[in-house]
Amino acid sequence: MVILIPSYEPDRRLLTLLTHLSGQQIVIVDDGSSQRYAHWFAAAERLGCTVIHHRINRGKGKALRTGFEYIARHFPGEPVVCADGDGQHTPADITKVADALDDGDPNMVLGVREFSGKVPLRSRIGNAATRSLFRAATGLAISDTQTGLRAYPARMLSWLCTIDGDRFDYELILLVRASQQGMRVRQVPIKTVYEDGNASSHFRPVRDSWLIYRPLLGFIGSSLLGFGIDCAMLALLLAGTGVLTLSVIGARLVSATVNYTVNRRYVFAAQAPLAVRQTLPGYAALAVVVLIGNLVLMWTLTPLTGAAVAKIVTEVSLLTVSYVVQSTRVFAHRHRAQHEDTAPAPDDSDAVQKLGVR
């Protein structure tokens, strides 16, 4: 097992954790800390840790990928446990999460906090909001979507290196991709530890919250765009033809084309647009099913509520079904294809590797 710790401008708590983890293989990624913090990393090296230095701050997601790439090359076949060095993760919980990899062969293990006791209000509210939004968007119930204590078997390292997101959004995107591919995610309860109200956290509430919520909101935004186009086209076609069925089909064809293009190129593409030949047949089949459902609901509701209200109720009803099918079936092909056995070589242009004695 290798313990991976991304670190930016650490303090004494990093060394406290390393002391308690004595004898473990530990890789630390210094994510562009200034020279004022060099003594902490030098002390870590004296304790036998491997320290990798980013020349500039690249974000937690990039730091984790740098660590995964290094471990895949220098510790082949070893599982990885990711932990924070700010005192939130205890040595006992790190061991507990690592041991859970041997139970049922999961793709990843999450150390989920119970958020009991003295927890900063922003952390309690932020996690509750993200947890609710994540479940609504993916159907996957994760009690702590923002936990930094996670364990991965060695076979997952190459996949982890393909996931986009350089900052705090990276860890949430991992969960979104895992839900799309039906991966086995195990949750293990851990202690909730916040020292000094979590004052040392480098989390930026506005900017980093946007990065975290962005992948979940992308699909909703795409659907709203399609909804707006659908409503506009429906109104135009109804005014021009007066035929409900023809108007619904025409509006759906136009909005589905826009929705497919946006989802393929942006919402479900981690780094590049997905191939049309892989995704269009599935999307077309889904569009037919959704169209039938749309027609049935519109026929049923329009005489009762009018076309405008019927359209809103219909679209909201079909939104969740459409997302689940698109994320788990239609646009999941590319991510499965990227799960190879060999991780890409690390980007040495922004990381200088220093090896401790171990």
**Pairwise CA distance, residues 87 & 70, whole Å:** 24
Examine the domain organization and report whether 127 and 183 are in the same domain: yes
Examine the domain organization and report whether 224 and 260 are in the same domain: yes
| Higher-pLDDT residue of 51, 309 | 51
List the structure tokens of 277: 């030949």
| Domain total in the chain | 2
Q: What pLDDT shows up at residue 334?
A: 43
Examine the domain organization and report whether 24 and 169 are in the same domain: yes
Q: Is residue 212 part of a domain?
A: no
| Higher-pLDDT residue of 185, 145 | 185
Q: What average pLDDT score do residues 228-241 get?
A: 91
Q: What pLDDT shows up at residue 219?
A: 72
Helix (H) or strand (E) holding 352, with range, is strand 351-354
Q: Is residue 209 part of a domain?
A: no
Indicate whether 202 pLDDT > 50.
Answer: no
List the structure tokens of 203: 């989390």
Length of the chain (residues): 358
pLDDT digits over 86-96, tens only?
Answer: 888 999 999 99
Examine the domain organization and report whether 224 and 306 are in the same domain: yes
Indicate whether 281 pLDDT > 50.
Answer: yes
CB of 172 closer than 8 Å to CB of 134 = yes
| Higher-pLDDT residue of 182, 122 | 182
What SS3 class is residue 299? helix
The string of DSSP letters for 143-164 reads S-TT---EEE-GGGHHHHTT--
Q: What pLDDT shows up at residue 119?
A: 53
* Maximum Cα interatomic distance, the chain, rounded to a whole number of Å: 79
Q: What pLDDT shows up at residue 12?
A: 94
**Pairwise CA distance, residues 187 & 72, whole Å:** 24
Q: Is residue 286 part of a domain?
A: yes
Tokens 């060999």, residue? 342
Examine the domain organization and report whether 229 and 113 are in the same domain: no
Percent of the chain with pLDDT over 70: 77
Query: What Å distances lie between residue 72 and 81, 166, 292, 309, CA to CA?
Result: 13, 19, 48, 55
Q: In what order do the strands lie in the sheet with 150-152?
A: 185-190, 108-113, 150-152, 80-82, 2-7, 25-31, 50-54, 351-354
Q: Is residue 346 part of a domain?
A: yes
Q: Is residue 34 part of a domain?
A: yes
Examine the domain organization and report whether 84 and 232 are in the same domain: no
Examine the domain organization and report whether 12 and 100 are in the same domain: yes
Q: Is residue 211 part of a domain?
A: no
Indicate whether 100 pLDDT > 70.
Answer: yes
Q: Is residue 85 part of a domain?
A: yes
Q: What pLDDT shows up at residue 218?
A: 75
Examine the domain organization and report whether 261 and 303 are in the same domain: yes
The string of DSSP letters for 308-339 reads HHHHHHHHHHHHHHHHHHIIIIIT-HHHHHT-
**Pairwise CA distance, residues 45 & 28, whole Å:** 9
Q: What average pLDDT score do residues 183-210 get?
A: 65
Q: What pLDDT shows up at residue 272?
A: 54
Indicate whether 52 pLDDT > 50.
Answer: yes
| pTM reported for the whole predicted model | 0.65
Q: Domain range spanning residue 247?
A: 217-268+275-330
Examine the domain organization and report whether 168 and 123 are in the same domain: yes
pLDDT digits over 337-351, tens only?
Answer: 333 333 334 444 344
The string of DSSP letters for 60-125 reads HHHHHHHHHHHHHHHSTT--EEE--SSSSS-HHHHHHHHHGGGSS--SEEEEEE---SS--HHHHH
**Pairwise CA distance, residues 304 & 167, whole Å:** 49
* Domain harbouring 141, CATH code: 3.90.550.10
| Higher-pLDDT residue of 65, 86 | 65
**Pairwise CA distance, residues 82 & 163, whole Å:** 16
Q: What average pLDDT score do residues 311-336 get?
A: 70
Examine the domain organization and report whether 325 and 346 are in the same domain: no
**Pairwise CA distance, residues 344 & 106, whole Å:** 23
Q: What is the mean pLDDT of the chain?
A: 81
Indicate whether 199 pLDDT > 60.
Answer: no
CB of 326 closer than 8 Å to CB of 222 = no
**Pairwise CA distance, residues 147 & 119, whole Å:** 14
Q: What average pLDDT score do residues 146-170 get?
A: 90
Q: What pLDDT shows up at residue 10?
A: 94
Question: Mean pLDDT highest for which of 69-73, 100-104, 236-240?
Answer: 69-73
Q: What average pLDDT score do residues 133-144 get?
A: 76
Examine the domain organization and report whether 286 and 345 are in the same domain: no
CB of 109 closer than 8 Å to CB of 101 = yes
Least confident of 79-83, 144-148, 210-214, 338-342: 338-342
Q: Is residue 121 part of a domain?
A: yes
Examine the domain organization and report whether 33 and 177 are in the same domain: yes
